[in-house]
A and B are shown apart, each in its own frame.
Chain A
Amino acid sequence: MTTTDYSPKPGAAPVGRMLLAQTAFETRMLLRNGEQLLLTVVIPTVLLVLFSAVDIVAVDGPGKRVDFLAPGLLALAVMSTAFTGQAIATGFERRYGVLKRLGASPLPRWALLTAKTGCVLVTEALQVALLTVIALALGWSPQGLATPLGALTVAALLVLGTAAFSGLGLLMAGTLKAEATLAAANLVFILLLLAGGVIVPLSKFPSAVQSALELLPIAALSDGLRSVLQTGAGVPWSDLGILGGWAVLGLAAAARFFRWE
């Protein structure tokens, strides 16, 4: 056995390398986790296929059933990864001292949070690609993408939605116990899936309830995506505004209240 030389030679890796390594590592951890995959991949896919094929809920707006459902399930995919998945994973990382231990490593905190965002974006890209392929196979004909403005609006909605859900997810993970986060994040996921305009149109709710539900981030995201992709309408400023508001609130609260241990 050769003897190792332990003589000190300390130093942080270049920050770019740390960021890449941390993003890749977190993504690998996520993709290995069966429950996370169920949440982020299996559920949106199954819902898309099932509700497109079977006439269970009456959909809204022009086009085929899949034209209503695909934008809603893209919104659900964003929520499942940025909010539910991230909250649960981060909650357990906090509980098991992972965040604490990383706090003594050369990785700066902002870089850890950037890596988490990178991991979320990579996962979302995979989800969007998968859902798009399946929806197209089911006959989806997305509108509004012919112009750069439409594509840009969709991108802005996805990014703001990710920011809003990340802020709320991290707020939960950084303040509640890991088990409480697990339960609450799953409960919120189911409630928002049902009452956030993902597969059930908000028009099915009484109008007073509907105007309250419209303020939910999931409702703003699915409505915004639909107004471009289903109806080809212009920029959904009010949805963008709601998402922006949640993003600012959520991220500010997370930054203020997040506890690392």
Chain B
Amino acid sequence: MHSEPAVQIAGLVKRYGTAFNNRVPAVDGLDLTVAHGAITAVLGPNGAGKTTTIETCEGYRRPDAGTVRVLGLDPVTQNAELRPRIGVMLQSGGVYAGARAVEMLRHTAKLHAHPLDVDALVERLGLGSCGRTTYRRLSGGQQQRLALAMAVVGRPELVFLDEPTAGLDPQARRATWELVRDLRRDGVTVIVTTHHMDEAEQLADHVAIVDRGKVIATGTPEELCRGGAEDALRFDGPPGLDLGPLLKELPEGATATETATGSYRVEATVDPQLLATVTGWCAASGILPERLAVQRRSLEDVFLDLTGRDLRS
């Protein structure tokens, strides 16, 4: 099938400005490999360098150092060859202010050899309700959906979506996720940037966490979140329980604490055995553990671990 990855970035460096005003690089030695046919999320806080990275892949920016290959092509020198094969949704804009949604989509379709059926796409993304309203008067959500439709209408092999759900309500967000999953089902490679860890967790097959212009961790959401220390089991019970006997039954290195009055947290590698140990101890002590829950480490915790900062900060 494919002899090389959909996107291969090695040691990418990109600075804005001139030599005289040599600021911190926006992208600073970034490595990323994107597999074909999967959804890859580039996750990171604002200013991390996500847009710069994506736009270098799209051929908008020339790397200051490092190499970028997209579908085996150099995005700058082989741009004409690359463009018909990719779909692009910019972080914002991209549409004539005076254009209506459906005519803009129809026009974009005309630039491609085998476009999708525009009417079906309009129905799918609910763009019919935009009617004769021109782009600048559409709601933010409608503008986002139009840009998304324009990115996929040409039946690309590879789609770049730069924060496609920013500012969307939960329902519209899920509709976008569904479309992205349909793209994967039909073999399209999707790269999506986001600063929402739940989006990366729920949508992506692979996640690359970017901070200050570098990829600081990469893997499937499960791989990234694995790593016992942060996994926890929590439950509510009578306040002031003596946790000493429980601790003796738990594996080496586990902790059990009363985090708030009547709220307990057991930190350990959460597996069925741990659950059995804790509930067994509860049963022996005559306690009904209420609101018993397994708490998984989230990507947010991963980011916090790696950088000491909150992803949302």
Chain A interface residues (CB < 8 Å from chain B)? 1-14, 17-18, 21-22, 25, 28-29, 32-33, 92-93, 96-98, 100-101, 103-108, 261
Contacts and interface: CB of A to CB of B under 8 A. Distances in A.
Contacts of B64: none
Contact of A12 (B59, B108, B113, B185): B113
Given A7-B155, A10-B85, A98-B93, 14 more contacts: A4-B182, A6-B183, A8-B157, A10-B154, A11-B84, A13-B111, A18-B110, A21-B110, A22-B107, A25-B107, A98-B96, A101-B93, A101-B150, A108-B80
**B88, B111, B121, B152: residue with the most chain A Cβ atoms closer than 10 Å:** B111
Given A8-B187, A21-B111, A104-B59, A3 B182 contact: yes
A32 B99 CA distance: 9
Contact of B60 (A17, A22, A33, A100): A100
Contacts of B154: 10, 105-106
B275 interface: no
A58 to B, nearest CB: 41
Nearest to A7: B186
Contacts of A107: 111
A98 B90 CA distance: 10
Nearest to A103: B60
Interface residues of B, number: 44
Nearest to A10: B85
Contacts of A28: 103
Closest 8 CB pairs of A and B: A97-B93, A11-B113, A101-B94, A104-B88, A21-B110, A6-B186, A12-B84, A8-B157
Given A13-B111, A107-B111, A2 B120 contact: yes
Contacts of A5: 186
30 contacts: A1-B123, A3-B182, A4-B117, A4-B124, A5-B186, A6-B182, A6-B188, A8-B156, A9-B114, A9-B155, A10-B84, A10-B86, A10-B112, A10-B113, A10-B114, A11-B114, A14-B113, A21-B110, A25-B107, A29-B99, A96-B94, A96-B96, A97-B90, A98-B95, A98-B96, A100-B93, A101-B150, A105-B88, A105-B108, A106-B154
A29 B98 CA distance: 6
A102 B151 CA distance: 11
A6 B116 contact: yes
A13 B113 contact: yes
Contact of B84 (A29, A101, A106): A106
B111 A105 contact: yes
A4 B111 contact: no
A92 B136 CA distance: 12
Interface string B226-245: 00000000000000000000
A97 B108 CA distance: 15
Nearest to A20: B110
B304 interface: no
A148 B183 CA distance: 60
A155 B185 CA distance: 57
A101 B186 contact: no
B97 interface: yes
Nearest to A104: B88
B103 to A, nearest CB: 8
A2 B93 CA distance: 30
B96 A4 contact: no
B135 to A, nearest CB: 8
B137 interface: no
Nearest to A95: B93
Contacts of A10: 84-86, 112-114, 154-157
Contacts of B121: 4
Contacts of B185: 6
A17 B60 CA distance: 25
B307 interface: no
Interface string B70-91: 0000000000100111101010
B92 interface: yes
Given A97-B92, A103-B60, A106-B83, A4 B116 contact: yes
B58 interface: yes
A4 B110 contact: no
Contacts of B88: 101, 104-105
Contacts of B99: 29
A188 B110 CA distance: 36
Nearest to A6: B186
Contact of A21 (B60, B107, B155, B188): B107
A14 B112 CA distance: 8
Interface in B146-198: 150, 152, 154-157, 182-183, 185-188
B98 A33 contact: yes
A108 B79 CA distance: 10
Nearest to B184: A6
A104 B113 CA distance: 15
A90 to B, nearest CB: 11
B60 A6 contact: no
A198 B59 CA distance: 45
A12 B112 contact: yes
A22 B93 CA distance: 18
Contacts of B182: 3-4, 6
